[in-house]
Amino acid sequence: MIEIGAFQAVDMRVGRVLSVDEFPEARVPAWKLRIDFGPELGVKRSSAQITHYSREELLDTLVVCCVNLTPRVIARFTSEVLVMGALDPDQGVVLLRPDKDAAIGSRIA
């Protein structure tokens, strides 16, 4: 169990995927994503191990990301946000996404 304050310290936001690029240098298959979080946060980059989604499925879609983790360098690429998903044993990561069009930058509460 955690206190509500610990949960509130995690800043999760809605973003829109602007670009999806191959990442052959990554040890584990991944995409390089550019995600727009609106005027407050701007565009951030992420290395996302969601290669069972095609580029077309990801481009221009809404995703939920944790935006206040320390950036990680993966094969000389700085991943600034963590794309959130459910870990399914059969499908891998299943993206968490709003079920309706939500404003980019919206906080997850």
Residue whose tokens read 């990561």:
93
Which structural domain range is residue 34 located in? 4-95
Q: Residue 78 in contact with residue 72, Cβ under 8 Å?
A: yes
| 66 located within any domain | yes
Query: Tens of pLDDT along 47-73?
Result: 999 989 999 999 999 999 999 999 999
Q: Residue 45 in contact with residue 33, Cβ under 8 Å?
A: yes
Q: Residue 84 in contact with residue 12, Cβ under 8 Å?
A: yes
| 103 located within any domain | no
Look at the chain and report how many structural domains it folds into.
Answer: 1
Query: Tens of pLDDT along 4-37?
Result: 999 999 999 999 999 999 999 999 999 999 999 9
CATH code for the domain in which residue 26 is found: 2.40.50.140
- Give the pLDDT score at 13: 98
Query: Tens of pLDDT along 73-104?
Result: 999 999 999 999 999 998 889 999 999 999 99
Whole-angstrom Cα distance, residue 38 to residue 14? 9
The first and second tokens of residue 35, run together, are 């995600």
Q: Which of 32, 56, 66 is nearest to 46 (CA)?
A: 32
